[in-house]
Homo-oligomer: A and B are copies of this chain.
Amino acid sequence: MRGYIQVYTGNGKGKTTAALGLALRAAGAGFLVFIGQFLKAASSSEHKALSRFRDLIIIKAYGREGLLKEINSIDIKLAKEGLKDCKKAILSEKYKLVILDEANVAVHFNLFSIEELLEVILNKPPSLELVITGRHAHKKLIEIADLVTEMKEIKHYYQKGVLARKGIEY
């Protein structure tokens, strides 16, 4: 089975969540999955839930704890190391699905360049399904992707002042 490059971008809710759903479905089919999360710490409810799939889904987070206010050299170092880690997972040919969560945002904030990201993506094994999420997908990524969905915000309760809620947003 050939694997494709999927991109989930846009300003609406559901990008990382859709990638998680893909991971779940793939695991249901018995596939091995690798998830690398940029700009996030490993403290969310999804990490807890995925601990039931330790045999099938590996999830790693390459971000710092707490709210990101300003990018500093630690963020850059963590993201660059994370991208290397994802590259290793991709090239290992162990996984059927690899998710680079928020990699678009990492590019947008110059934690690594679009060229560095594309180099990793374009060297994927043919059978690997690769999913890249995050706002502000670079147009070079959209060009080479096989599937692109824009999650468009039509309405969002954040506009009503609702804060992110454990178990729903994180």
Q: Does A115 contact B (CB under 8 A)?
A: no
Q: Classify the interface of chain A: helix, strand, loop or mixed.
A: mixed
Q: Which of B13, B48, B167 contacts A96 (CB 8 A)?
A: B167
A125 CB, min distance to chain B CBs, angstroms: 15
Give the copy number: 2
Q: Could you write out 28 A-B pairs with CB less than 8 Å apart?
A: A4-B162, A6-B13, A10-B152, A12-B150, A13-B18, A13-B147, A14-B15, A14-B21, A14-B149, A17-B21, A20-B25, A21-B21, A21-B24, A21-B46, A24-B24, A24-B49, A25-B168, A26-B168, A28-B45, A28-B167, A31-B167, A129-B168, A148-B153, A149-B151, A149-B152, A149-B153, A150-B152, A150-B154
Interfacial residues, chain A to chain B (CB-CB below 8 A): 1-2, 4, 6, 8, 10, 12-22, 24-31, 44-50, 52-53, 96-97, 129, 142, 145-157, 160, 162, 165-168, 170
